[in-house]
């Protein structure tokens, strides 16, 4: 996630992610689940901009965070519904938590343009929150290390720490233990977000941890070597059967990707988005065109 400045404003493009592997190992005492997942950022982005404001001279409390969040087009709002109120948005929560933890009293004007579908398993809200921490760290001159920012990110959500680091990573614990993978061969995907979203807590509640956990080894080795066929055989998501019990879209999308010619396909995160692995960019464009004709929701071509 690159941060750049123009005048008083700092900017970032906040990527979505796909889970190429997702195993649920155990239910934790804190209510979360112990997981092992392989996540890759993809070229579907929200846009975030932040301008720092000065604190009031006699005000003991930090200055306000004013968030203007909107979908990039009316069609997206019609499809995915209104965004959370500014006070409830994870961007606002991230900035207020950073104010509290760092003791900074400056506020911010923030503009968020949303393109990543919500309730989709693509991590849009988490990515936005991570970007907010990055931008405020610069604009407020907090100048914290990645390790200190990560401590704040963990409090916000399981996927937020992943988006603080660049590139693909293996995430363990409840998602906060990050093993960056460095540069990897580019893979090509088609992503479909169907008309119905899914609640992450509901999907986890409907699922169960693995009796015999699947090994990540083969999936990771295939991704590192650029072996598309091996990666296709290694795709796995323990949450998919649970999600399929909550909506008919999961089984339908699996069948649609098979008919359209994807090498392999599976759900991302807790759904409801489904993605297909493709041989190359032209293959991805062809599959996306076939799926758009099927009126399955929003269809994206992405690399990662």
> Mean of the per-residue pLDDT values for the chain?
95
Q: In this predicted structure, what is the pLDDT of residue 133?
A: 98
Mean pLDDT for the stretch of residues 263-278: 98
Q: What are the pLDDT digits (tens) for 48-81? A: 999 999 876 556 678 899 999 999 999 999 999 9
| CB neighbour class for 85 (10 Å; exposed up to 12, middle 13-18, buried from 19) | exposed
Q: How many helices (H) and strands (E) does the chain have?
A: 11, 12
Domain borders along the chain are: 3-180, 188-303
Question: Would you list the DSSP string of 145-164?
Answer: -HHHHHHHHHHH-TTHHHHH
Chain-centre distance of CA 50, in angstroms? 20
Q: What is the CATH number of domain 3-180?
A: 3.30.230.10
Better pLDDT: 28 or 65 = 65
Q: In this predicted structure, what is the pLDDT of residue 257?
A: 98
Percent of the chain with pLDDT over 90: 91
Q: What tokens were used for 203?
A: 């999907």
How long is the chain? 304
| Euclidean distance between CA atoms 304 and 286, whole angstroms | 18
The DSSP H or E segment spanning 220 is helix 217-225
CB atoms within 10 A of CB 255: 10
Q: In this predicted structure, what is the pLDDT of residue 269?
A: 97
In the predicted structure, residue 203 carries a pLDDT above the cut 80? yes
Q: In this predicted structure, what is the pLDDT of residue 99?
A: 97
In the predicted structure, residue 5 carries a pLDDT above the cut 70? yes
| Euclidean distance between CA atoms 34 and 208, whole angstroms | 11
Q: At CA 145, angle to CA 156 and CA 162, rounded to 5?
A: 40
Annotated catalytic residue 68: no
The answer for residues whose C-beta is within 8 angstroms of residue 177's C-beta and 6 or more apart is: 171
Q: In this predicted structure, what is the pLDDT of residue 116?
A: 98
Of 17, 46, 114, 128, the catalytic one is 17
1-10, 75-84, 242-251, range with the lowest pLDDT: 1-10
Q: What are the pLDDT digits (tens) for 114-148? A: 999 999 999 999 999 999 999 999 999 999 999 99
Mean pLDDT for the stretch of residues 141-164: 96
Annotated catalytic residue 96: no
CB of 265 closer than 8 Å to CB of 149: no
Chain-centre distance of CA 225, in angstroms? 24
In the predicted structure, residue 150 carries a pLDDT above the cut 80? yes
In the predicted structure, residue 249 carries a pLDDT above the cut 90? yes
- In which residue are the tokens 């949450």 written? 239
Domains 3-180 and 188-303 share a fold: no
Of 46, 114, 128, 159, the catalytic one is 159
Percent of the chain with pLDDT over 70: 98
> The domain at 188-303 falls in which architecture?
2-Layer Sandwich (3.30)
């Amino acid at each position: 996630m690159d941060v750049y400045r123009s005048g008083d404003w700092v900017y970032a493009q906040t990527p979505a992610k796909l889970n190429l592997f997702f195993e649920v190992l155990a239910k934790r005492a804190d209510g979360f689940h112990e997981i092992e997942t392989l996540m890759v950022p993809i070229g579907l982005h929200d846009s975030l901009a932040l301008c720092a404001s000065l604190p009031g001279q006699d005000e003991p409390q930090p200055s306000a965070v004013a968030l203007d969040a909107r979908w990039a087009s009316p069609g997206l709002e019609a499809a995915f519904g209104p965004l959370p109120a500014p006070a409830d948005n994870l961007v606002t929560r991230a900035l207020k938590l950073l104010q509290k933890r760092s003791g900074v009293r400056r506020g911010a004007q923030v503009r968020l343009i949303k393109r990543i579908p919500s309730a989709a398993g693509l991590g849009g809200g988490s990515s936005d929150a991570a970007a907010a921490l990055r931008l405020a760290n610069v604009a407020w001159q907090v100048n914290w290390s990645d390790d200190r920012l990560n401590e704040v990110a963990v409090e916000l959500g399981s996927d937020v720490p992943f988006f603080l680091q660049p590139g693909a990573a293996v995430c363990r614990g409840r998602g906060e233990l990050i093993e960056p993978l460095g540069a990897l061969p580019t893979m090509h995907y088609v992503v479909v977000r169907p008309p119905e979203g899914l609640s992450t807590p509901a999907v986890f509640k409907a699922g169960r941890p693995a009796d015999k956990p699947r090994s990540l080894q083969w999936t990771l080795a295939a991704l590192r070597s650029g072996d598309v066929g091996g990666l296709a055989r290694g795709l796995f998501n323990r949450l998919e059967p649970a999600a399929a019990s909550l909506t008919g879209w999961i089984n339908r999308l699996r069948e649609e990707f098979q008919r359209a010619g994807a090498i392999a396909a599976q759900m991302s995160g807790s759904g409801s988005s489904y993605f297909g692995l493709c041989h190359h960019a032209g293959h991805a464009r062809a599959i996306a065109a076939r799926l758009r004709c099927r009126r399955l929701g929003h269809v994206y071509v992405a690399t990662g």
